[in-house]
Structure 1
Amino acid sequence: PTPSDAPEPWAYWLQTEPQATHLFLRQYFGDWATEEPASLCVERLDLLLPPPALDKQEFGRRLDLLGLWLTAGARCWSEWGRALAQSDPGPVQAFLPPSNATGLTGQAYGMGGYACGPDQAVILELVPPTCAYWSVQLATWFWESAAVGSRQVSLNHTQAVTDEDGVVRFVIAQRDPGVANWLDPAGYEQGTLAVRFLWADQLPALSYRLVPFEHVQRELPPGTKVVTPEQRSQILRSRRADLQRRLRR
């Protein structure tokens, strides 16, 4: 099909290729407490019901595809994580996808690694751009969000606290440093780090520096928002409840 073949009322028509079999969709949530997930479904207009019975050949083809997806996916994430593991942790710079990646228009990602021992802390600094959304997230070497329902492994533009100088400072530490923008690595001393921007007017780097854990307070500016253990518990309870509500479907 060509763009001229698009049905007139369908402003968001997406041209596909004959070999396309999957639609990948990602939703971003800023305020977890109030934003609702979209209700989406795929309707095949020429669908015949009931469908033909599943025969051995089709069943085998689907199993082969599943095996390919599992092995190729595991290889991809392993190689990606290993490449980051072999590089020195440092600043993370977001980048725009290629111009022909039409499904990624407006999105920018930055990826790196972190290393943080029991008596260390990593301080990240970001001057947020004007954008629809941004976030910073920790993950394992396989890009798995560790204990996202019970630990603060990510913060976005609605959750993080900005200091008076316009800089957002995050602290990665194995123990709670008592500051609002703590990123909890869930016991992983090494892992991956991602920064995301949507429709940003610029792509600032996420700075990175390793300090002794006992020096965290002196490395942060006066007025940094502190969080008590009781407040932290309530924050985590609220995040967990918001996540459960979103995934209730």
Structure 2
Amino acid sequence: MEHSAWTSFCQALAAAGDVVLRPAAPDTPLDRAEGYRYLTRLLREMLYATVENADPDFPRLHRLDLTKIGADNPDNVYLTATVRGDRTYRLTGTRGTIFYFSVGSKANRYAKDGTMASTGELSDQDIVVEADGTVEITVSAREHGENWLRLAPDSTSLVIRQTYLDRTTEVPGEWRIECVDGPAQPRPLEPAAMAKALRRAALAVHGTAATFAGWTEMFMSRPNELPDFGQEMFQRAGGDPEIFYLHGYWTLRPGEAWVIETEVPDCPYWNFQLDNWWMESLDHDRRITVNKHTAKLDGGKLTIVVAERDPGWGNWIDTAGHTSGTALLRWLGATHHPIPRCRVIRP
């Protein structure tokens, strides 16, 4: 591999840093620091996907722990693995007791056009679980009867979502993946492949950061609301087809609170979460999310109060030292999608 490939990689990463300096991005010390931390998290994940876990013939599931992309759900345990569309894989594991499970095949095009197209989806209602709690799923382009997850020619990864309602009692499943029709041994690392991996990683960091910064700038056109911006864009970026997404941008002066009031549809799961400007969920050790299990309703109505301090009423969400950011309300599996009423007050 030529040294120029490494130099180009470093230069491309430097260019990705410009996303943090976008004119619309907040310039507080906290938001700036989180912006650069966000880039390091993206880089770690992209290098893992393009270098350390890049061989689709020998995939490994790994947890997206601190990698927060596009309003990651604090209730989720995310697992991902690299695949290719012309191989067949066996995904095996235990369902566990966690509330919701889904798995999708994706075509990651963040570096090209900012999308992660869904190329196949399975959820709880689609899978057959054995009496002992085990599951086997065939992942392939060719249909395989029950528990089949479709691959497309350009599929590049699998994403498993396991969603908690109650973290204190539920247990996620344990999953493994293997390619059943690939070579017996990995090939030695090729210099050209390494150079390509570095290019892909740097482009993916820049492309991902720019994509979601662009989303936030769009949300800023309607501050302190949770409108329906249209679902197609969110699905094209890898969203769960079962979820209706209500994204928004919030900004508060000292002493203000953002009050969100809505009816709650009949659905298996919903949650609200507060994110930073980069669309990362805020620190999970703070009270930054509420869901169907943890929320307190008043006559079937949900009231959320986003503020720096608990006002003593509604479902308080902690701004965690921020004065602006993004937010998301998800309705999963609902046939009716209420749009919340939002206002800013001084409690």
**Match of 1:177, as an amino acid?**
P
Give me the whole-angstrom Cα distance separating, in 2, the residues matched to 1:212 and 1:5. Answer: 58
Aligned: 1:32 with 2:146: no
CA offsets, 1:4-44, max 9 Å, x none? 94224xx1322222222212232221111122222222210
* Displacement after TM superposition at 1:180 (Å): 5.9
Aligned: 1:45 with 2:177: no
| SS of equivalent residue, structure 2 residue 335 | coil
Query: Which 4+ stretches in 1 moved above 6 angstroms?
Result: 100-103
1:6 equivalent among 139, 143, 146: 143
Map of 2:252 onto structure 1 = 116
CA offsets, 1:181-224, max 9 Å, x none? 100111211111101011113101121111113xxxxxxxxxxx
Structure in which a larger fraction of residues adopt strand: 2
- Equivalent pairs counted in the alignment come to 207
Map of 2:281 onto structure 1 = 145
Specify every segment of 5 or more residues in structure 2 that has no aligned partner in the other structure, as ranges.
1-85, 87-139
TM-score by length of 2: 0.55
* Displacement after TM superposition at 1:52 (Å): 1.1
Does structure 2 conserve the Cα–Cα contact (< 8 Å) formed by 1:122 and 1:173?
yes
2:319 equivalent among 155, 164, 185: 185
2:242 equivalent among 106, 113, 131: 106
* Displacement after TM superposition at 1:88 (Å): 3.0
> Which one has the largest radius of gyration?
1
Does structure 1 conserve the Cα–Cα contact (< 8 Å) formed by 2:224 and 2:344?
no
| SS of equivalent residue, structure 2 residue 182 | coil
Does structure 1 conserve the Cα–Cα contact (< 8 Å) formed by 2:141 and 2:151?
no
Deviates more, 1:172-181 or 1:102-111: 102-111
| SS of equivalent residue, structure 1 residue 142 | coil
CA offsets, 1:143-183, max 9 Å, x none? 111211x21111000001011x2111111111122346100
2:154 equivalent among 9, 19, 31: 19
**Match of 1:7, as an amino acid?**
H
CA offsets, 1:92-114, max 9 Å, x none? 3486548x979733221111111
Does structure 1 conserve the Cα–Cα contact (< 8 Å) formed by 2:305 and 2:317?
yes
Does structure 1 conserve the Cα–Cα contact (< 8 Å) formed by 2:272 and 2:330?
yes
| SS of equivalent residue, structure 1 residue 69 | helix
Identity, % of aligned positions? 28
Give me the whole-angstrom Cα distance separating, in 2, the residues matched to 1:17 and 1:173. Answer: 45
Give me the whole-angstrom Cα distance separating, in 2, the residues matched to 1:49 and 1:14. Answer: 24
1:172 equivalent among 306, 328, 338: 306
Does structure 1 conserve the Cα–Cα contact (< 8 Å) formed by 2:247 and 2:329?
yes
CA offsets, 1:121-151, max 9 Å, x none? 1111121110010001110111111211x21
Specify every segment of 5 or more residues in structure 1 that has no aligned partner in the other structure, as ranges.
214-249
Does structure 1 conserve the Cα–Cα contact (< 8 Å) formed by 2:226 and 2:328?
no
Does structure 2 conserve the Cα–Cα contact (< 8 Å) formed by 1:95 and 1:203?
no
Aligned: 1:201 with 2:338: no
Aligned-residue CA RMSD (Å): 2.5
| SS of equivalent residue, structure 2 residue 178 | coil
Identify which of structures 1 and 2 has the higher relative contact order when contacts are C-alpha pairs closer than 8 Å and 6+ apart. 1
- The change in CA–CA distance for 1:196 and 1:115 in structure 2 (over 3 A counts) is same
TM-score by length of 1: 0.75
